[in-house]
Chains A and B, each alone.
Chain A
Amino acid sequence: MFSHAITGFAALALWGIALPVAGQISTSLGVVEGSVCPDNSHAIFHACALEAAENATPPRTPEGRPDFSGYWLRRAWAFESLEAHPETPDDFGAPSAIVEPADGLLPMQAWALEQSRINAERYLHHNAACILAGPAGTMYMTSRFQFMQDETHLVMVGEQLTTHPYRIIPLDGRPHIGYIPMWNGDPRGRWEGDTLVVETRHQNAKYLLDQRGRFITDEARIVERFTLIEDGTIHYRATFDDPNVYTRPFTIAFAFRRNVPEIWEEACFETNSEPMRLYRANGYRVYPGITGEQARAMRAAWEAAQ
């Protein structure tokens, strides 16, 4: 199964009249007329949304919480690379989704940067094997979502690009399950004013963050923030904190827009075997993931070799 990691397509470079020249980094990801923050470009939208949230009057549930229910379209192009990446025949291209640090670059430790290059050379992106994308990866890979919310849960189901995209997030203050490593981890939501904060632990880190081989370990702490800045727009942020791999936490941000009529079933396994045959024929293996303990051992080995 390969569309779930599909990116730029040579045909698209010829498609339409407003495409950037191959090799350039697009500075525009489209605009939504009438929105309080119309520009989808990650950093521009993020800066606008922070201000817009102060005066937002979102739709609310009967309990008075912001109501995220409905159909949403992701407006982020980060699954190819979290950092800025140029358009090529194999890549849609986009500006960086990283808003913190402000330079838009991932604060990777030196050994991890080298490991990312190795990952990119050696391993298939997890989605090619119908493997889940992790909590935040699900959000920036899945194209379309339906959110369903009540007093105790936010449930997300999705379609396109991500394998079996669904998340179930308790909102009632219950404790984390404990250490059961899961693809999308053990999330818990809480409210900070009108922002829903979702903290996920115990994800298994057997997936890549992007198609450049970037990664986290199973000890990473992932905190997402969902804010309705208007009826039709969610300001989404995800902060990754993993001292095994990064020199400091980093945050990505982008918009969800309310404009898809419904989502449909999109099973992943149906055509997996044939694409996998091609991948294996070309010598690739599925990314195996990495634990915190493995990361520390790899860093020590890398430092000893310097």
Chain B
Amino acid sequence: MGHGRQHRDGHGNVRTTAMKRSIAGLSGAGAVASLLFAAGSHSHHSVAVGFDMQRRVTVTGTILDMEWINPHARMSFEVEDENGETQTWVISFTSANNLFRRGWRSIHLPVGATITVSGFPARDGSNELYAGETRLADGSTLFGGNAPGEC
């Protein structure tokens, strides 16, 4: 499995049209939305140990920092909640190598840029996500999760 599932745009970015649909219906800046996801057994995988893969959370905020490191790139960004207070969220992605191979570059994620990230929330309730997709201000999307075609 995994062949032919990536779609690159003119900038070499990987786009996932199906994921776009999952984001389109979510609320705007500062909002956090949680969705029940497809049911499935919780096998003992490392991602599932730390993150709830039965739920998805979408967060919009501004980038504070992006660490291009392996085996998981990490981003911190600032989110304003309904009360106008700011929270710092941390997003874990697949490896920096994978992101680079997909066409992700540092110019796509400058400090201060507004992004929307959809992913799986940390089981301990902290402000952390394991990211599936990042939507940039221009509407383009970058898939940051794990792809079977790359494994």
Q: Do A and B bind each other?
A: yes
> Measuring CB to CB, which residues of chain A are less than 8 angstroms from any residue of chain B?
1-16, 18-20, 22-23, 26, 28-30, 77, 80-81, 85, 88-94, 120-121, 123-125, 127-128, 143, 159-161, 211-213, 264-268, 270-271, 274-275, 278-279, 281-282, 284
Is B18 a contact partner of A212 (Cβ separation < 8 A)? no
Is A10 a contact partner of B45 (Cβ separation < 8 A)? no
Is B50 a contact partner of A5 (Cβ separation < 8 A)? no
Give the residue of B38, B46, B98, B122 whose beta carbon is less than 8 angstroms from that of A13: B38
Given A11-B19, A271-B69, A281-B124 in contact, is the A90-B42 Cβ separation under 8 Å? yes
- Measured CB to CB, the closest approach of chain B to A210, in angstroms, equals 10
Is A5 a contact partner of B45 (Cβ separation < 8 A)? yes
Measured between beta carbons, the chain A residues less than 8 angstroms from B150 are 143, 160
In the complex, A142 Cα to B45 Cα: how many Å?
Answer: 16
Measured between beta carbons, the chain B residues less than 8 angstroms from A5 are 45-47
Is A92 a contact partner of B22 (Cβ separation < 8 A)? no
Interface string of B35-66 (1 = CB under 8 A from A): 00111111111111111011010000000000
Give the residue of B4, B41, B46 whose beta carbon is less than 8 angstroms from that of A2: B46
Is A22 a contact partner of B40 (Cβ separation < 8 A)? yes
Given A10-B132, A159-B97 in contact, is the A90-B48 Cβ separation under 8 Å? yes
Residues facing A in B96-151 (CB within 8 A) are 97-98, 118, 120, 122-124, 126, 128, 132-133, 143, 145-148, 150-151
Is A12 a contact partner of B146 (Cβ separation < 8 A)? yes
The residue of chain A having its C-beta at the shortest distance from the C-beta of B41 within the complex is: A88
Is B8 an interface position by the 8 A CB rule?
no
Given A11-B143, A266-B70 in contact, is the A90-B53 Cβ separation under 8 Å? yes
Is A268 a contact partner of B16 (Cβ separation < 8 A)? no
> Measuring CB to CB, which residues of chain B are less than 8 angstroms from any residue of chain A?
1-5, 16, 18-19, 21-22, 37-51, 53-54, 56, 67, 69-72, 74, 90, 92, 94-95, 97-98, 118, 120, 122-124, 126, 128, 132-133, 143, 145-148, 150-151
Is A265 a contact partner of B40 (Cβ separation < 8 A)? no
Rank and list the top 9 A-B pairs by shortest CB-CB distance, nearest first.
A88-B40, A11-B132, A278-B50, A16-B5, A2-B46, A5-B46, A14-B18, A128-B46, A266-B70
Give the residue of A12, A90, A127 whose beta carbon is less than 8 angstroms from that of B145: A12
- Measured CB to CB, the closest approach of chain B to A263, in angstroms, equals 9
In the complex, A20 Cα to B148 Cα: how many Å?
Answer: 13
In the complex, A9 Cα to B22 Cα: how many Å?
Answer: 14
- Measured CB to CB, the closest approach of chain B to A2, in angstroms, equals 4
Is B46 a contact partner of A279 (Cβ separation < 8 A)? yes
Measured between beta carbons, the chain B residues less than 8 angstroms from A19 are 1
